[in-house]
Amino acid sequence: MASKTAELIDKLTINYEENGILKVREKEKHVLSKGAWTTIMFLYEEYNPKDEVYNAPKVSIRRFKKVGDDYRKQSQFNISSEKQAKEIAKQLKEWYGNE
């Protein structure tokens, strides 16, 4: 049986709906750390109402703090393009090697 904390973390999402339209659609998520402070990396798409399609995927890294029986977002960093994501990955690989 999953712990209460694990269940709460599983429910965290980046999905955002407004007026019946899913404005931010979560594609995937990866939990980077768990506990009283939880960090999750989300792959998501934003809805473009002009063209009625979802734009290219972006990444958001969000930090949550457990308060009582809930998690509250404390901070976030959005990776706004594939180019930026590749540059971040390249630099991390340089710093940490091929481990």
**pLDDT tens per residue, range 33-69:** 999 999 999 999 999 999 999 999 999 999 999 999 8
At 85 the pLDDT is 95
Q: What is the mean pLDDT of the chain?
A: 93
Specify the pTM: 0.89
**Residue 83 backbone zone (phi > 0: left; psi -120 to 50: alpha; other: beta):** alpha
Neighbours of 7 (CB within 10 A): 10
Block residue for tokens 């481990």: 99
At 1 the pLDDT is 44
Domain chopping of the chain, boundaries: 4-96
Say if residue 99's pLDDT is above 60.
no
pLDDT level of residue 4 (50, 70, 90 thresholds): confident
